[in-house]
C-alpha cells in the first residue's frame, strides 16, 4: 500500500474516504481534523480555562496532547487535566500513572478526584455488593458528575472529552434505539450553555478509534494498556459490535450517524428555542433532569445494597 498523497509506504487505510496515508500525512490529517473541530466547537476562544478529562488511556491522552498543541501559542488560556479515581483495584493506579507522565511531559496542571472522598464509595465496592450489576452504569454517571464539579471548581469554561468517532456513533445509535431524545440532544459536544454544566467539547469527534490508537503510538504518548476488569459487562459492547459490522459493510456509517445526529439536534434546538433549564437536585444541588439527579439516585441504590461478606 502506498500513500495516496505522496507515494511513501502507507501506515493506514481509510476506507470511508478511499485513501491510504503514510505516517507523516496521517499525523497531519489527524491534527488538521482535530484543529478544525476545536475551532468549530470552541469558536474564538482566546482566554479562559480549559479542563481536559484525562483517564490515562489513548483517547484522552490524544485529546490532551492535541488540545495542548492547539492552545500552546495562547498564553491567556490555562489548561488543567482532570482524572477521576473511581476505585478500581489493579486498573486505575496504572492509568493514573500514565496520566501523570503525560501531564508532566506537557507541563499541564493535573488534579485527581477520588470517588471515595467525594461520594463515599467506589466502583469495586458497588460491584462486589451487587454482583449482577453493570458497574459501568454507576461509573459513567458518577464520573460525569465528578468531572463536571471538578471542572467548575477550577473555573473551566469548557471541558474537553476524548470521545472518538466510534464512541459517538455508538452513543447516537444507543440513544436512538432507546428512544431517548433528551440524551440525544444533550450529548457532547454541547451547543447550548446550561447553568451549572460546564460545556463539553469533543475534538476527536471525526477521528475513528483505530486512528486515535495509531496516532498515540506514532507520537509515543504515555499510555496504560490495562483493561478495566468490568469492561466486558458494559451495555455499550453490543453497540460497538453493531456499529463495527455496519461500518465494515458500508464504510462511512459512523460519519452518517453523526451527521444525522447533528441535523436532528439543529432542528430540535431551532424549534425549542433552547433546552429547558435543568432543575437542581434536592440532595446535592447539582443540575438534574428530575428532582433527584442520577448520581444521587445511583448512590441511594449503592447505599441500600446488601453488603456481601468477603470470603477467604
Task: Tell me which residues touch ligand SF4 (CB under 6 A).
Answer: 86, 88, 123, 135-136, 139-140, 228, 230-231, 234
Residue 308 binds which entry of Zn ion, ligand SF4, none, with Cβ cut-offs from 5 to 8 Å by kind?
A: none
Q: What are phi and psi of 12, to 5 degrees?
A: -155, 145
User: Which residues in 85-144 contact Zn ion (CB under 5 A)?
Assistant: none
Query: Given the complex with ligand SF4, which of 95 and 253 has the nearer CB atom?
Result: 95
Contacts with Zn ion, 3-22, as mask; x by CB under 5 A? x-xx-x-------------x
Rule CB under 5 A: is residue 281 a binding residue for Zn ion?
yes
Least distance (Å) from ligand SF4 to the CB of residue 237?
A: 10
Residue 22 binds which entry of ligand SF4, Zn ion, none, with Cβ cut-offs from 5 to 8 Å by kind?
A: Zn ion
Residue 230 binds which entry of ligand SF4, Zn ion, none, with Cβ cut-offs from 5 to 8 Å by kind?
A: ligand SF4
Least distance (Å) from ligand SF4 to the CB of residue 288?
A: 21
Query: Given the complex with ligand SF4, which of 78 and 92 has the nearer CB atom?
Result: 92
Query: Given the complex with ligand SF4, which of 86 and 224 has the nearer CB atom?
Result: 86
Q: Around Cβ 274, how many Cβ atoms within 10 Å?
A: 10
Rule CB under 5 A: is residue 25 a binding residue for Zn ion?
yes
Tell me the DSSP string of the chain.
-B-TTT-SBPSEEETTTTEEE-HHHHHHHHHHHHHHHHHHHSTT--SEEEEEE--SSHHHHHHHHHHHHHHTT-TTEEEEEEEEE---TTTHHHHHHHHHHHHHHHT-EEEEEEHHHHHS--HHHHHHHSTTS-HHHHHHHHHHHHHHHHHHHTT-SEEE----HHHHHHHHHHHHHTT-HHHHHHPSSPSS-BTTBPPEE-TTTTS-HHHHHHHHHHTT--------TTGGG-THHHHHHHHHHHHHHSTTHHHHHHHHHHHHHHHHHHHHSSPPPPEE-TTT--EESSSS-HHHHHHHHHHHSPPPPPP-
User: How far, in Å, CA of 294 to CA of 146, rounded?
Assistant: 12
Bridge-based pairing of strands 48-53 and 77-85 is parallel
Q: Which stretch binds Zn ion (CB under 5 A): 57-65, 86-94, 152-160, 284-292?
A: 284-292
Query: Given the complex with ligand SF4, which of 14 and 137 has the nearer CB atom?
Result: 137
- Contacting Zn ion (CB under 5 A), which of 246, 258, 269, 283? 283
Residue 140 binds which entry of Zn ion, ligand SF4, none, with Cβ cut-offs from 5 to 8 Å by kind?
A: ligand SF4
Query: Given the complex with ligand SF4, which of 22 and 212 has the nearer CB atom?
Result: 212
Query: Given the complex with Zn ion, which of 128 and 194 has the nearer CB atom?
Result: 194
User: How far, in Å, CA of 183 to CA of 161, rounded?
Assistant: 17
Query: Given the complex with Zn ion, which of 24 and 260 has the nearer CB atom?
Result: 24
Residue 218 binds which entry of Zn ion, ligand SF4, none, with Cβ cut-offs from 5 to 8 Å by kind?
A: none
- Contacting Zn ion (CB under 5 A), which of 170, 296, 298, 302? 296
Residue 78 binds which entry of ligand SF4, Zn ion, none, with Cβ cut-offs from 5 to 8 Å by kind?
A: none
Q: What are phi and psi of 288, to 5 degrees?
A: -150, 150
Residues that bind Zn ion (CB under 5 A): 3, 5-6, 8, 22, 25, 281, 283-284, 293, 296
Amino acid at each position: 500500500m502506498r500513500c495516496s498523497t505522496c507515494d511513501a509506504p502507507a501506515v493506514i487505510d481509510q476506507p470511508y474516504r478511499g485513501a491510504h496515508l503514510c505516517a507523516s500525512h496521517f499525523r497531519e490529517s489527524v491534527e488538521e481534523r482535530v484543529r478544525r473541530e476545536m475551532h468549530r466547537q470552541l469558536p474564538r476562544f482566546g482566554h479562559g480555562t480549559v479542563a481536559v478529562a484525562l483517564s490515562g488511556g489513548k483517547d484522552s491522552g490524544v485529546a490532551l496532547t492535541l488540545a495542548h498543541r492547539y492552545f500552546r501559542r495562547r498564553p491567556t488560556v490555562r489548561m488543567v487535566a482532570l482524572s477521576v479515581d473511581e476505585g478500581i483495584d489493579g486498573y486505575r493506579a496504572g492509568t493514573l500513572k500514565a496520566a501523570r507522565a503525560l501531564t508532566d511531559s506537557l507541563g499541564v496542571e493535573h488534579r485527581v478526584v477520588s470517588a471515595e472522598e467525594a461520594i463515599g464509595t467506589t466502583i469495586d465496592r458497588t460491584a462486589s455488593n451487587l454482583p449482577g450489576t453493570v458497574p459501568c452504569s454507576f461509573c459513567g454517571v458518577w464520573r460525569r458528575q465528578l468531572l463536571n464539579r471538578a471542572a467548575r471548581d477550577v473555573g473551566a469554561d469548557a471541558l474537553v472529552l476524548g470521545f472518538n468517532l466510534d464512541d459517538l456513533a455508538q452513543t447516537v445509535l444507543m440513544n436512538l434505539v432507546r428512544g431517548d431524545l433528551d440524551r440525544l440532544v444533550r450529548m457532547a459536544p454541547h451547543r447550548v450553555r446550561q447553568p451549572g454544566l460546564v460545556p463539553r467539547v469533543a475534538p476527536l469527534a471525526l477521528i475513528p478509534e483505530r486512528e486515535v490508537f495509531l496516532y498515540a503510538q506514532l507520537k509515543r504518548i504515555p499510555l496504560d494498556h490495562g483493561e478495566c476488569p468490568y469492561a466486558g459487562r458494559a451495555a455499550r459492547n453490543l453497540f460497538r459490535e453493531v456499529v463495527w459490522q455496519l461500518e465494515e459493510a458500508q464504510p462511512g456509517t459512523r460519519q452518517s450517524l453523526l451527521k444525522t445526529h447533528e441535523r436532528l439536534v439543529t432542528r430540535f434546538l431551532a424549534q425549542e428555542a433552547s433546552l429547558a433549564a435543568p432543575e437542581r437536585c434536592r440532595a446535592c444541588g447539582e443540575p438534574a433532569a428530575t428532582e433527584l439527579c442520577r448520581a444521587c439516585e445511583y448512590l441511594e441504590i449503592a447505599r441500600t445494597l446488601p453488603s456481601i461478606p468477603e470470603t477467604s
